[in-house]
Structure 1
Amino acid sequence: MSDDSRRVIVDIKGVAKHYGDGDARVDALRNLDLSVHAGEVVALLGPSGSGKTTLLNIIGCIIGCIIDPSEGQVSLDGEMVFDGKWLRGDLRRLRLDKIGFIFQAHNLLPFLNATDNVALVLQLAGKTAAQAQARAQELLDYLEVRHRARAMPALLSGGEAQRVAIARALANSPRIILADEPTAALESMRAGIVKDLLRKLASEQDACIIAVTHDENILDRFDRLFHLRDGRLENDKGDKP
Protein backbone atom coordinates (compact mmCIF):
# COMPACT_ATOMS: atom_id res chain seq x y z
CA MET A 1 0.00 0.00 0.00
CA SER A 2 1.47 3.36 -1.01
CA ASP A 3 1.99 6.20 1.46
CA ASP A 4 -0.65 8.23 -0.38
CA SER A 5 -3.18 5.43 0.04
CA ARG A 6 -2.88 5.88 3.83
CA ARG A 7 -3.52 9.60 3.59
CA VAL A 8 -6.47 10.78 5.65
CA ILE A 9 -9.05 12.17 3.23
CA VAL A 10 -11.95 12.80 5.61
CA ASP A 11 -11.04 13.94 9.13
CA ILE A 12 -13.78 14.98 11.54
CA LYS A 13 -13.11 16.08 15.12
CA GLY A 14 -15.66 16.93 17.80
CA VAL A 15 -18.49 17.51 15.34
CA ALA A 16 -21.88 18.12 16.90
CA LYS A 17 -25.22 19.10 15.44
CA HIS A 18 -28.23 20.12 17.48
CA TYR A 19 -31.61 21.61 16.67
CA GLY A 20 -33.46 23.98 18.95
CA ASP A 21 -32.60 25.04 22.49
CA GLY A 22 -33.44 24.23 26.08
CA ASP A 23 -35.94 21.46 26.67
CA ALA A 24 -36.73 21.39 22.95
CA ARG A 25 -33.09 20.74 21.94
CA VAL A 26 -32.45 17.65 19.83
CA ASP A 27 -28.87 16.38 19.43
CA ALA A 28 -28.45 14.78 16.00
CA LEU A 29 -24.66 14.36 16.38
CA ARG A 30 -22.66 14.45 19.62
CA ASN A 31 -18.91 15.16 19.74
CA LEU A 32 -18.18 12.83 16.84
CA ASP A 33 -14.68 11.92 15.59
CA LEU A 34 -14.13 10.06 12.31
CA SER A 35 -11.16 9.56 9.98
CA VAL A 36 -11.23 7.79 6.61
CA HIS A 37 -8.18 7.11 4.43
CA ALA A 38 -7.67 7.06 0.68
CA GLY A 39 -8.59 3.66 -0.75
CA GLU A 40 -10.99 2.83 2.08
CA VAL A 41 -14.64 1.83 1.73
CA VAL A 42 -16.50 2.31 5.01
CA ALA A 43 -20.12 1.95 6.04
CA LEU A 44 -22.25 4.06 8.37
CA LEU A 45 -24.77 1.86 10.16
CA GLY A 46 -27.49 2.62 12.64
CA PRO A 47 -31.25 2.89 13.13
CA SER A 48 -33.35 5.63 11.60
CA GLY A 49 -32.67 8.93 13.33
CA SER A 50 -29.20 7.94 14.54
CA GLY A 51 -27.48 10.75 12.60
CA LYS A 52 -26.16 8.92 9.53
CA THR A 53 -27.63 11.21 6.88
CA THR A 54 -26.81 14.33 8.91
CA LEU A 55 -23.17 13.22 9.06
CA LEU A 56 -23.12 12.43 5.34
CA ASN A 57 -24.54 15.88 4.55
CA ILE A 58 -21.93 17.61 6.71
CA ILE A 59 -19.10 15.73 4.99
CA GLY A 60 -20.68 16.68 1.67
CA CYS A 61 -20.73 20.37 2.69
CA ILE A 62 -24.48 20.63 2.15
CA ILE A 63 -24.92 24.01 3.80
CA GLY A 64 -27.86 25.85 5.27
CA CYS A 65 -29.12 26.62 8.76
CA ILE A 66 -30.45 23.07 9.07
CA ILE A 67 -27.26 21.21 8.08
CA ASP A 68 -24.40 23.42 9.32
CA PRO A 69 -22.51 21.77 12.22
CA SER A 70 -23.10 23.34 15.62
CA GLU A 71 -19.43 22.86 16.52
CA GLY A 72 -16.29 20.90 15.62
CA GLN A 73 -13.84 20.64 12.74
CA VAL A 74 -14.13 19.10 9.27
CA SER A 75 -11.05 18.56 7.07
CA LEU A 76 -11.43 17.23 3.51
CA ASP A 77 -8.46 16.07 1.44
CA GLY A 78 -6.04 17.99 3.64
CA GLU A 79 -8.03 21.23 3.70
CA MET A 80 -9.79 22.47 6.83
CA VAL A 81 -13.21 23.48 5.56
CA PHE A 82 -15.10 23.93 8.84
CA ASP A 83 -13.77 25.08 12.21
CA GLY A 84 -16.70 26.48 14.14
CA LYS A 85 -17.75 28.09 10.85
CA TRP A 86 -17.32 27.38 7.14
CA LEU A 87 -13.87 28.51 6.01
CA ARG A 88 -14.51 28.14 2.27
CA GLY A 89 -16.33 30.91 0.47
CA ASP A 90 -17.37 28.70 -2.45
CA LEU A 91 -18.49 25.30 -1.17
CA ARG A 92 -20.18 24.59 -4.49
CA ARG A 93 -16.75 24.56 -6.14
CA LEU A 94 -15.40 22.29 -3.42
CA ARG A 95 -18.22 19.83 -4.02
CA LEU A 96 -17.62 19.90 -7.77
CA ASP A 97 -13.88 19.33 -7.37
CA LYS A 98 -13.63 16.85 -4.52
CA ILE A 99 -16.95 15.16 -3.73
CA GLY A 100 -19.09 12.71 -5.67
CA PHE A 101 -22.62 11.75 -4.56
CA ILE A 102 -24.43 8.47 -5.17
CA PHE A 103 -28.02 8.13 -3.95
CA GLN A 104 -30.57 5.36 -3.51
CA ALA A 105 -32.58 6.84 -6.37
CA HIS A 106 -30.22 7.45 -9.27
CA ASN A 107 -31.64 10.98 -9.79
CA LEU A 108 -30.70 11.05 -13.47
CA LEU A 109 -32.21 13.92 -15.44
CA PRO A 110 -35.00 12.28 -17.46
CA PHE A 111 -34.60 14.57 -20.49
CA LEU A 112 -30.87 13.79 -20.98
CA ASN A 113 -29.39 10.52 -22.22
CA ALA A 114 -26.81 8.59 -20.20
CA THR A 115 -23.80 10.37 -21.71
CA ASP A 116 -25.26 13.83 -21.31
CA ASN A 117 -26.20 13.14 -17.67
CA VAL A 118 -22.51 12.55 -16.95
CA ALA A 119 -21.20 15.29 -19.25
CA LEU A 120 -23.38 17.96 -17.63
CA VAL A 121 -21.38 17.77 -14.38
CA LEU A 122 -18.14 18.27 -16.30
CA GLN A 123 -19.50 21.26 -18.17
CA LEU A 124 -20.63 22.82 -14.89
CA ALA A 125 -17.03 22.44 -13.72
CA GLY A 126 -15.77 24.35 -16.75
CA LYS A 127 -14.93 21.65 -19.30
CA THR A 128 -15.75 22.22 -22.96
CA ALA A 129 -18.58 20.22 -24.48
CA ALA A 130 -16.07 18.06 -26.37
CA GLN A 131 -13.99 17.39 -23.24
CA ALA A 132 -17.13 16.58 -21.25
CA GLN A 133 -18.42 14.14 -23.85
CA ALA A 134 -15.06 12.38 -24.12
CA ARG A 135 -14.73 11.99 -20.34
CA ALA A 136 -18.34 10.78 -20.05
CA GLN A 137 -17.77 8.13 -22.70
CA GLU A 138 -14.58 7.05 -20.94
CA LEU A 139 -16.39 6.61 -17.63
CA LEU A 140 -19.33 4.74 -19.14
CA ASP A 141 -16.83 2.41 -20.80
CA TYR A 142 -14.98 1.96 -17.48
CA LEU A 143 -18.26 1.03 -15.78
CA GLU A 144 -19.19 -1.33 -18.64
CA VAL A 145 -22.32 0.54 -19.68
CA ARG A 146 -21.08 2.39 -22.77
CA HIS A 147 -23.44 0.36 -24.96
CA ARG A 148 -26.25 2.34 -23.27
CA ALA A 149 -24.56 5.71 -23.81
CA ARG A 150 -27.43 7.17 -25.87
CA ALA A 151 -30.26 5.58 -23.89
CA MET A 152 -32.65 7.78 -21.95
CA PRO A 153 -32.95 7.06 -18.20
CA ALA A 154 -36.46 5.61 -18.56
CA LEU A 155 -35.05 2.88 -20.82
CA LEU A 156 -32.21 1.85 -18.48
CA SER A 157 -32.47 -1.07 -16.07
CA GLY A 158 -32.01 -0.34 -12.37
CA GLY A 159 -28.43 -1.60 -12.45
CA GLU A 160 -27.61 0.37 -15.62
CA ALA A 161 -29.08 3.58 -14.20
CA GLN A 162 -27.06 3.17 -11.00
CA ARG A 163 -23.85 2.69 -13.02
CA VAL A 164 -24.58 5.87 -14.95
CA ALA A 165 -25.16 7.64 -11.62
CA ILE A 166 -21.80 6.34 -10.40
CA ALA A 167 -20.16 7.59 -13.60
CA ARG A 168 -21.66 11.01 -12.91
CA ALA A 169 -20.29 10.90 -9.35
CA LEU A 170 -16.82 10.11 -10.73
CA ALA A 171 -16.89 12.75 -13.45
CA ASN A 172 -14.43 15.15 -11.81
CA SER A 173 -12.24 12.44 -10.22
CA PRO A 174 -13.35 13.22 -6.64
CA ARG A 175 -11.29 12.09 -3.66
CA ILE A 176 -14.47 11.60 -1.61
CA ILE A 177 -17.50 9.57 -2.72
CA LEU A 178 -20.59 9.68 -0.51
CA ALA A 179 -23.24 7.02 -1.05
CA ASP A 180 -26.66 7.08 0.62
CA GLU A 181 -28.27 3.61 0.39
CA PRO A 182 -26.77 3.10 -3.09
CA THR A 183 -28.01 -0.50 -3.43
CA ALA A 184 -31.42 -0.26 -1.76
CA ALA A 185 -33.28 -0.20 -5.08
CA LEU A 186 -31.33 -3.17 -6.51
CA GLU A 187 -31.85 -6.90 -6.14
CA SER A 188 -29.15 -8.77 -4.18
CA MET A 189 -26.93 -9.86 -7.06
CA ARG A 190 -26.75 -6.39 -8.60
CA ALA A 191 -26.28 -4.85 -5.14
CA GLY A 192 -23.19 -7.01 -4.68
CA ILE A 193 -21.88 -5.98 -8.10
CA VAL A 194 -22.29 -2.30 -7.26
CA LYS A 195 -20.46 -2.73 -3.95
CA ASP A 196 -17.62 -4.60 -5.66
CA LEU A 197 -17.48 -1.74 -8.14
CA LEU A 198 -17.21 0.81 -5.33
CA ARG A 199 -14.28 -1.10 -3.87
CA LYS A 200 -12.62 -1.11 -7.28
CA LEU A 201 -13.15 2.63 -7.55
CA ALA A 202 -11.66 3.31 -4.13
CA SER A 203 -8.55 1.38 -5.05
CA GLU A 204 -8.06 2.55 -8.63
CA GLN A 205 -9.19 6.16 -8.14
CA ASP A 206 -7.36 6.50 -4.78
CA ALA A 207 -10.58 7.81 -3.25
CA CYS A 208 -12.39 7.14 -0.01
CA ILE A 209 -15.99 5.95 -0.06
CA ILE A 210 -18.42 6.46 2.81
CA ALA A 211 -21.76 4.69 2.45
CA VAL A 212 -24.92 4.68 4.52
CA THR A 213 -26.50 1.24 4.21
CA HIS A 214 -28.96 -1.13 5.86
CA ASP A 215 -28.03 -4.04 3.57
CA GLU A 216 -26.48 -6.67 5.84
CA ASN A 217 -25.70 -8.90 2.86
CA ILE A 218 -22.91 -6.61 1.63
CA LEU A 219 -21.21 -5.68 4.91
CA ASP A 220 -18.27 -7.99 4.22
CA ARG A 221 -17.35 -5.77 1.26
CA PHE A 222 -16.48 -2.82 3.55
CA ASP A 223 -13.12 -2.18 5.19
CA ARG A 224 -14.68 -0.81 8.36
CA LEU A 225 -18.14 -0.45 9.86
CA PHE A 226 -19.10 2.58 11.95
CA HIS A 227 -22.19 2.20 14.13
CA LEU A 228 -24.13 5.33 15.08
CA ARG A 229 -26.74 5.47 17.79
CA ASP A 230 -28.34 8.64 19.15
CA GLY A 231 -25.76 10.78 17.35
CA ARG A 232 -22.72 8.99 18.80
CA LEU A 233 -20.27 6.52 17.31
CA GLU A 234 -20.52 3.34 19.36
CA ASN A 235 -17.03 2.35 18.16
CA ASP A 236 -14.41 5.03 17.59
CA LYS A 237 -12.19 3.21 15.08
CA GLY A 238 -14.69 1.09 13.17
CA ASP A 239 -15.23 -2.66 13.29
CA LYS A 240 -13.76 -4.94 10.67
CA PRO A 241 -16.66 -6.75 8.98
Structure 2
Amino acid sequence: MSGATAPLVQVEGIGRVFGAGETAVRALDGVDLSVGAGEVVGLKGPSGSGKSTLLNIIACILEPSAGRLLLGGETVWDGAWRVADLRRLRRERIGFIFQFHNLLPFLDATDNVALAMTLAGADVGTARARARDLLDYLQVGHRATAKPARLSGGEAQRVAIARALANRPRVILADEPTAALDSERARVVMDLLRQVAREQQAAILVVTHDEKIFDRFDRMVALRDGRLEAVA
Protein backbone atom coordinates (compact mmCIF):
# COMPACT_ATOMS: atom_id res chain seq x y z
CA MET A 1 0.00 0.00 0.00
CA SER A 2 1.48 3.39 -0.96
CA GLY A 3 1.85 6.32 1.40
CA ALA A 4 -0.55 8.33 -0.79
CA THR A 5 -3.47 6.03 -0.05
CA ALA A 6 -2.51 4.35 3.23
CA PRO A 7 -3.92 5.45 6.59
CA LEU A 8 -1.48 7.70 8.42
CA VAL A 9 -1.63 5.37 11.43
CA GLN A 10 -1.97 1.63 10.92
CA VAL A 11 -1.49 -1.11 13.52
CA GLU A 12 -1.92 -4.72 12.49
CA GLY A 13 -2.17 -7.52 15.04
CA ILE A 14 -0.28 -5.49 17.62
CA GLY A 15 0.47 -7.31 20.85
CA ARG A 16 2.46 -6.38 23.92
CA VAL A 17 3.42 -8.65 26.81
CA PHE A 18 5.06 -7.39 29.99
CA GLY A 19 7.08 -9.90 31.99
CA ALA A 20 7.50 -13.60 31.30
CA GLY A 21 6.29 -16.99 32.45
CA GLU A 22 3.57 -17.12 35.09
CA THR A 23 3.88 -13.40 35.82
CA ALA A 24 3.44 -12.34 32.18
CA VAL A 25 0.76 -9.73 31.54
CA ARG A 26 -0.71 -9.42 28.05
CA ALA A 27 -1.40 -5.69 27.78
CA LEU A 28 -2.41 -5.82 24.10
CA ASP A 29 -3.63 -8.83 22.15
CA GLY A 30 -3.92 -8.66 18.36
CA VAL A 31 -5.09 -5.05 18.01
CA ASP A 32 -5.94 -3.76 14.52
CA LEU A 33 -6.57 -0.04 14.13
CA SER A 34 -6.14 2.61 11.46
CA VAL A 35 -6.56 6.39 11.47
CA GLY A 36 -6.75 8.29 8.21
CA ALA A 37 -5.77 11.79 7.19
CA GLY A 38 -8.24 14.35 8.51
CA GLU A 39 -9.73 11.91 11.02
CA VAL A 40 -10.11 12.34 14.79
CA VAL A 41 -10.56 9.01 16.61
CA GLY A 42 -11.30 8.56 20.30
CA LEU A 43 -9.87 5.62 22.24
CA LYS A 44 -11.76 4.68 25.41
CA GLY A 45 -11.71 1.84 27.88
CA PRO A 46 -11.30 1.11 31.59
CA SER A 47 -8.02 1.64 33.41
CA GLY A 48 -5.60 -1.13 32.58
CA SER A 49 -7.22 -1.93 29.25
CA GLY A 50 -4.10 -1.08 27.24
CA LYS A 51 -4.88 2.42 25.98
CA SER A 52 -1.63 4.06 27.09
CA THR A 53 0.36 1.04 25.94
CA LEU A 54 -1.13 1.33 22.46
CA LEU A 55 -0.49 5.08 22.36
CA ASN A 56 3.14 4.57 23.39
CA ILE A 57 3.63 1.93 20.69
CA ILE A 58 2.22 4.23 18.01
CA ALA A 59 4.50 6.96 19.37
CA CYS A 60 7.47 4.62 18.84
CA ILE A 61 8.33 4.84 22.53
CA LEU A 62 7.40 1.26 23.41
CA GLU A 63 8.32 -1.78 21.33
CA PRO A 64 5.51 -4.20 20.48
CA SER A 65 5.81 -7.92 21.17
CA ALA A 66 3.97 -8.84 17.96
CA GLY A 67 2.30 -7.36 14.91
CA ARG A 68 3.18 -4.50 12.59
CA LEU A 69 3.14 -0.69 12.87
CA LEU A 70 3.00 1.61 9.86
CA LEU A 71 3.04 5.42 9.81
CA GLY A 72 2.13 7.12 6.56
CA GLY A 73 2.29 3.79 4.77
CA GLU A 74 5.88 3.16 5.89
CA THR A 75 6.60 0.10 8.01
CA VAL A 76 8.08 1.31 11.29
CA TRP A 77 8.02 -1.94 13.29
CA ASP A 78 7.69 -5.49 12.00
CA GLY A 79 9.46 -7.83 14.37
CA ALA A 80 12.07 -5.09 14.88
CA TRP A 81 12.31 -1.35 14.39
CA ARG A 82 12.66 -0.54 10.69
CA VAL A 83 13.59 3.13 11.19
CA ALA A 84 17.18 3.98 12.04
CA ASP A 85 16.53 7.17 14.04
CA LEU A 86 13.39 6.88 16.16
CA ARG A 87 14.00 10.16 17.96
CA ARG A 88 14.06 12.01 14.67
CA LEU A 89 10.90 10.24 13.55
CA ARG A 90 9.12 11.29 16.75
CA ARG A 91 10.35 14.89 16.43
CA GLU A 92 9.37 15.30 12.80
CA ARG A 93 6.29 13.14 12.32
CA ILE A 94 4.48 12.82 15.64
CA GLY A 95 2.94 15.50 17.86
CA PHE A 96 2.08 14.84 21.51
CA ILE A 97 -0.61 16.43 23.67
CA PHE A 98 -0.97 15.43 27.31
CA GLN A 99 -3.55 15.81 30.07
CA PHE A 100 -1.37 18.41 31.77
CA HIS A 101 0.22 20.87 29.39
CA ASN A 102 3.81 20.24 30.58
CA LEU A 103 4.88 23.70 29.46
CA LEU A 104 8.25 24.90 30.74
CA PRO A 105 7.44 27.41 33.51
CA PHE A 106 10.40 29.71 32.81
CA LEU A 107 9.54 30.22 29.11
CA ASP A 108 6.68 32.29 27.72
CA ALA A 109 4.11 30.81 25.34
CA THR A 110 6.07 31.73 22.21
CA ASP A 111 9.31 30.20 23.42
CA ASN A 112 7.58 27.05 24.69
CA VAL A 113 6.36 26.45 21.13
CA ALA A 114 9.56 27.60 19.42
CA LEU A 115 11.70 25.26 21.52
CA ALA A 116 10.22 22.21 19.80
CA MET A 117 11.45 23.58 16.47
CA THR A 118 14.91 24.64 17.60
CA LEU A 119 15.46 21.18 19.05
CA ALA A 120 14.68 19.83 15.57
CA GLY A 121 17.25 22.16 14.00
CA ALA A 122 15.30 25.31 13.08
CA ASP A 123 16.92 28.69 13.64
CA VAL A 124 15.51 30.77 16.47
CA GLY A 125 14.01 33.50 14.28
CA THR A 126 12.14 31.05 12.06
CA ALA A 127 10.97 29.07 15.07
CA ARG A 128 9.64 32.12 16.90
CA ALA A 129 7.83 33.38 13.80
CA ARG A 130 6.08 30.05 13.29
CA ALA A 131 5.30 29.86 17.01
CA ARG A 132 3.52 33.22 16.83
CA ASP A 133 1.62 32.11 13.72
CA LEU A 134 0.49 28.93 15.49
CA LEU A 135 -0.61 30.81 18.60
CA ASP A 136 -2.64 33.13 16.39
CA TYR A 137 -4.11 30.13 14.53
CA LEU A 138 -5.21 28.63 17.86
CA GLN A 139 -6.68 31.97 18.98
CA VAL A 140 -4.24 32.51 21.82
CA GLY A 141 -1.84 34.91 20.10
CA HIS A 142 -2.70 37.63 22.59
CA ARG A 143 -1.02 35.49 25.26
CA ALA A 144 2.23 35.04 23.32
CA THR A 145 4.40 36.67 25.99
CA ALA A 146 2.66 35.14 29.00
CA LYS A 147 4.34 32.43 31.05
CA PRO A 148 2.39 29.26 31.89
CA ALA A 149 1.53 30.37 35.43
CA ARG A 150 -0.42 33.30 33.97
CA LEU A 151 -2.40 31.21 31.47
CA SER A 152 -5.83 29.72 32.12
CA GLY A 153 -6.20 25.95 31.76
CA GLY A 154 -7.74 26.30 28.32
CA GLU A 155 -5.08 28.77 27.17
CA ALA A 156 -2.26 26.53 28.39
CA GLN A 157 -3.75 23.56 26.55
CA ARG A 158 -3.94 25.59 23.33
CA VAL A 159 -0.26 26.51 23.71
CA ALA A 160 0.47 22.81 24.21
CA ILE A 161 -1.42 22.04 21.00
CA ALA A 162 0.62 24.70 19.19
CA ARG A 163 3.78 23.04 20.47
CA ALA A 164 2.54 19.66 19.20
CA LEU A 165 1.97 21.20 15.75
CA ALA A 166 5.29 23.04 15.64
CA ASN A 167 7.14 20.59 13.39
CA ARG A 168 4.13 19.97 11.12
CA PRO A 169 3.48 16.35 12.18
CA ARG A 170 0.90 14.33 10.29
CA VAL A 171 0.21 12.13 13.34
CA ILE A 172 -1.01 13.70 16.59
CA LEU A 173 -1.44 11.61 19.74
CA ALA A 174 -3.32 13.01 22.73
CA ASP A 175 -3.55 11.42 26.18
CA GLU A 176 -6.57 12.72 28.14
CA PRO A 177 -6.14 16.27 26.73
CA THR A 178 -9.40 17.58 28.22
CA ALA A 179 -9.50 15.84 31.59
CA ALA A 180 -8.36 18.95 33.46
CA LEU A 181 -10.77 21.28 31.63
CA ASP A 182 -14.39 22.20 32.23
CA SER A 183 -17.03 21.24 29.67
CA GLU A 184 -16.88 24.46 27.65
CA ARG A 185 -13.08 24.56 27.40
CA ALA A 186 -12.98 20.83 26.64
CA ARG A 187 -15.31 21.29 23.69
CA VAL A 188 -13.26 24.25 22.43
CA VAL A 189 -10.06 22.19 22.55
CA MET A 190 -11.68 19.31 20.69
CA ASP A 191 -13.12 21.64 18.07
CA LEU A 192 -9.60 23.03 17.55
CA LEU A 193 -8.24 19.50 17.11
CA ARG A 194 -10.95 18.76 14.57
CA GLN A 195 -9.99 21.95 12.74
CA VAL A 196 -6.33 20.92 12.75
CA ALA A 197 -7.18 17.45 11.42
CA ARG A 198 -9.26 18.89 8.62
CA GLU A 199 -7.04 21.79 7.56
CA GLN A 200 -3.68 20.05 7.95
CA GLN A 201 -4.88 16.57 6.97
CA ALA A 202 -3.48 15.10 10.16
CA ALA A 203 -4.53 11.86 11.83
CA ILE A 204 -5.43 12.41 15.48
CA LEU A 205 -5.88 9.67 18.09
CA VAL A 206 -7.16 10.73 21.50
CA VAL A 207 -7.17 8.56 24.63
CA THR A 208 -10.04 9.76 26.79
CA HIS A 209 -12.50 8.93 29.56
CA ASP A 210 -14.20 12.28 29.04
CA GLU A 211 -17.78 11.53 28.00
CA LYS A 212 -18.56 15.20 27.42
CA ILE A 213 -16.39 15.18 24.27
CA PHE A 214 -17.43 11.83 22.77
CA ASP A 215 -19.63 13.60 20.23
CA ARG A 216 -16.56 15.48 18.89
CA PHE A 217 -14.97 12.36 17.41
CA ASP A 218 -15.41 10.97 13.93
CA ARG A 219 -15.57 7.57 15.60
CA MET A 220 -14.79 5.86 18.89
CA VAL A 221 -12.89 2.65 19.47
CA ALA A 222 -12.80 0.77 22.76
CA LEU A 223 -10.19 -1.43 24.39
CA ARG A 224 -10.91 -3.97 27.08
CA ASP A 225 -8.33 -6.39 28.47
CA GLY A 226 -5.99 -5.56 25.63
CA ARG A 227 -8.44 -6.26 22.83
CA LEU A 228 -10.37 -3.95 20.57
CA GLU A 229 -13.89 -4.42 21.80
CA ALA A 230 -16.12 -2.13 19.82
CA VAL A 231 -16.21 0.57 17.21
CA ALA A 232 -18.91 3.20 17.40
The CA RMSD over aligned residues, in Å, is: 1.2
User: Any conservation in 2 of the 1:7–1:38 contact (CA below 8 Å)?
Assistant: no
Q: CA deviation at 1:7?
A: 4.3
Structure 1 gaps of 5+ residues are none
Residue 53 of structure 1 corresponds to 52
Q: TM-score, normalised by structure 2?
A: 0.97
Q: Matched residues in 1 for 2:34 and 2:65: separation?
A: 19
Residue 20 of structure 1 corresponds to 19
Q: Secondary structure at the match of 2:8?
A: strand
The superposition leaves residues 124-158 of structure 1 with CA deviations (integer Å, 9 ceiling, x where unpaired) of 11111110011000000000111110101111110
The superposition leaves residues 172-217 of structure 1 with CA deviations (integer Å, 9 ceiling, x where unpaired) of 1110000000000001100011011111110001001000001111
Quick one: which amino acid aligns to residue 174 of structure 1? P
Which segments of structure 1 move beyond 6 Å, counting only runs of 4 or more? none
Residue 214 of structure 1 corresponds to 209
Question: Sequence identity, in percent?
Answer: 64
Quick one: which amino acid aligns to residue 231 of structure 1? G
120, 144, 158: which one pairs with 1:163? Answer: 158
Q: TM-score, normalised by structure 1?
A: 0.93
Aligned: 1:100 with 2:95 = yes
Residue 179 of structure 1 corresponds to 174
Q: Secondary structure at the match of 1:197?
A: helix
Q: CA deviation at 1:71?
A: 1.2
The superposition leaves residues 31-62 of structure 1 with CA deviations (integer Å, 9 ceiling, x where unpaired) of 11111100000011100000000000000111
In the TM superposition, 1:128-139 aligns within 5 A as 128-139=123-134
Structure 2 gaps of 5+ residues are none
Q: Matched residues in 2 for 1:142 and 1:11: separation?
A: 29
How many residues matched?
230
Q: CA deviation at 1:163?
A: 0.3
Q: CA deviation at 1:79?
A: 1.2
